[in-house]
């Protein structure tokens, strides 16, 4: 019995061989065989969802964020109000437990949480949210305060809008930021993303309603 399982970015092909003694063992009829097949399908899907996603551009490498990446130094980035001034994370107090819960929220989902490393040193993080139905990916990026301005963010962003989406079978990358975040806008434009829309007063900055700018990039 031959099956093909189609998933975003590829497909699995596998065969279930019905043994000669199946009619006298625990496999007694076609219904049972299909139930066993479905169990195997679920196993394959779980293995696909937990695959490792990695990409590298020169010295900058993106890979899965792990629990060991949660450190006092990492938490200091998140709890730095000036560094997080354009992020919704600024409204939260971050602890080891809250960061671990956030990491675990990516389990068994199509979304990804990445570490950004340079020569094995953690210099930032990235998220990549996926809309499976429309094959649209939405990346986000955070570079540590001490590594801002060194070009690591630009290289990591290129991986997030080219390499990572290609691996995941994404057809469109969409990203947004407050219109006062000039550094992020430059990052969008440096990766040849196109301006898509302005959302009036969608965000808040310094307690003032602020527009959000959306940018896009089509991969095919």
- Report the SS3 class of residue 16: coil
Q: Which residues pair with 140 in a beta bridge?
A: 127
Measured distance CA(85)–CA(210) in Å, rounded: 13
Domain over 55-218 is classified CATH 3.40.1380.10: no
| Beta carbons of 129 and 158 less than 8 angstroms apart | no
Q: What does pTM read for this prediction?
A: 0.76
Mean pLDDT by 10 residues, the chain (220 residues): 39 39 40 44 40 90 97 96 92 95 95 97 98 97 96 97 96 97 96 97 94 95
What's residue 38's pLDDT? 42
Domain ranges of the chain: 2-49, 55-218
């696909």: which residue's tokens?
48
């Amino acid at each position: 019995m031959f099956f093909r399982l189609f998933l975003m970015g590829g497909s699995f092909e596998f065969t279930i061989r019905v043994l000669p003694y199946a009619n006298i063992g625990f496999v007694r009829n076609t219904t049972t065989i299909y139930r066993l097949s479905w169990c195997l399908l679920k196993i394959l899907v779980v293995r696909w969802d937990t695959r490792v996603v990695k990409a590298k551009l020169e010295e900058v490498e993106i890979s899965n964020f792990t629990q060991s990446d949660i450190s006092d130094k990492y938490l200091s980035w998140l709890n730095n109000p000036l560094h997080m001034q354009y992020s919704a994370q600024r409204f939260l107090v971050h602890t080891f437990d809250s960061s671990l819960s956030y990491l675990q929220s990516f389990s068994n989902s199509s979304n990804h949480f990445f570490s950004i490393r340079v020569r094995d040193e953690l210099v930032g993080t990235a998220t990549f949210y996926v809309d499976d139905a429309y094959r649209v990916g939405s990346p986000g990026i955070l570079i540590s305060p001490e590594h801002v301005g060194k070009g690591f963010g630009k290289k990591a962003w290129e991986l997030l809008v080219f390499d990572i989406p290609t691996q995941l079978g994404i057809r469109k990358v969409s990203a947004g930021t407050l219109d006062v975040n000039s550094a992020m806008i430059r990052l969008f434009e440096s990766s040849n993303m196109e301006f898509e829309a302005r959302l009036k007063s969608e965000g808040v900055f310094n307690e003032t309603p602020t527009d959000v700018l959306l940018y896009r990039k089509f991969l095919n």
